Amino acid sequence: MISGMVVSGYGGFYQVRRDDCGAVVDCKPRGRLKQSYSKIYPGDRVEISLLPAGDGMIEAIGPRHTRLSRPQLVNFDQLIIVLAWKLPEYDLLLLDRVLVLALEARVRPVICFNKLDLLEEGEAPLFQDIRAVYQAAGFSVLGVSAKDPASIEALKEQLGGGISVLAGPSGAGKSTLLNQLLGEGSAETGVVSDRLRRGRHTTRYARILPLGADAAFGFIADTPGFFALELPQSVTDRDLPGYYPDFQLDEPCRFDGCLHLSEPDCRVKQAVAKGRVDPERYRRYQRLQEEIKTREVVYW
């Protein structure tokens, strides 16, 4: 039996990348797995057996540690949140929302400001401030430009293995960065991107591609079309504070389960007043609490 990872699914086959040599084998699931045929996703760890014709049979599927339904993808490790400095201008409310999404899905978020070539001299302190707020909260923040190869290398090194996914608003530069990360111009990726283009319209599945020779930097998922960027339905008003590492203070609020909204003796609000917690991020937190409230359906 050979171990591998499902990297895509099309043509009635799943493409499985062998761990031992990196070759990709077209596979069908063994009969008893077929009942759950639709339940095999890119990112799945599988055991395969090779058939004489050169294709393979999926014999077993391993456990999953993360799962997304839009796009369908499992077992990814990092969510690279791509925001453009301009054109279109970054939206920090969207960023905070996607950070909740990432933490809820138990993946490491990497905040990536793209198009920094458009950053004008006077704007540098603003970028530094934003970066400092999120770094203080414990997040990785990178500034890159698709026009600056050194910054793309730095991004690659940040990823350091596992499966990464790019998410962010349309126009932020995700496809451009994906191409740069994969290394445009290399004959091999030329073939891959051709297959990608054809596949794009025929599948809702993500496709996983190796980063660097022998996947030295891990893998990156090319996700077809739209990425759901809203707050997961499962996140309630009580859960939300838990997704703010910067709100976890040494001294607890007076009330257990404090929502940090209008409760008395709220340490978070005190920290906001003292500037220890960024007031803008706190305001966006209030907005997300509003979103949850207006979305919440109450069943009696």
Binding site for Zn ion (CB under 5 A): 253, 258, 260, 266, 268
Stretch that binds ligand GDP, among 6-14, 51-59, 96-104, 143-151 (CB under 6 A): 143-151
CA distance 228 to 222: 14
Q: How far is the CB of 176 from ligand GDP (least distance, A)?
A: 3
Cβ-in-10-Å burial (0-12, 13-18, 19+) of 274 comes to: exposed
Stretch that binds ligand GDP, among 89-97, 111-119, 156-164, 192-200 (CB under 6 A): 111-119
CA distance 65 to 109: 15
User: What are 65's two structure tokens?
Assistant: 């540690």
Question: Length of the chain in residues, anyone?
Answer: 300
Spell out, one character per residue from 162 to 201, where the chain touches ligand GDP: x when CB under 6 A holds, - when not: --------xxxxxxx-------------------------
Please state, as a whole number, how many other Cβ atoms lie within 10 Å of the Cβ of residue 211: 20
Which DSSP string corresponds to 218-275? -EEEE--S----SPPTT--TTTGGGG-GGG--SSPPSSTT--SSS-TT-HHHHHHHTT
Q: Which does residue 72 touch among Zn ion, ligand GDP, none (CB within 5 to 8 A, set by kind)?
A: none
By beta-carbon proximity to ligand GDP, the closer residue of 35 and 170 is 170
Q: How far is the CB of 134 from ligand GDP (least distance, A)?
A: 19
CA distance 78 to 110: 7
Residue 119 zone, left/alpha/beta (φ > 0; ψ -120 to 50; rest): beta
Residue of 8, 145, 164, 223 interacting with ligand GDP (CB under 6 A): 145
Q: Which does residue 115 touch among Zn ion, ligand GDP, none (CB within 5 to 8 A, set by kind)?
A: ligand GDP
Confirm or reject binding of residue 207 to ligand GDP (CB under 6 A): no
Residue of 39, 64, 70, 147 interacting with ligand GDP (CB under 6 A): 147
By beta-carbon proximity to ligand GDP, the closer residue of 27 and 196 is 196
Residues near ligand GDP (CB under 6 A): 114-115, 117-118, 145-147, 170-176
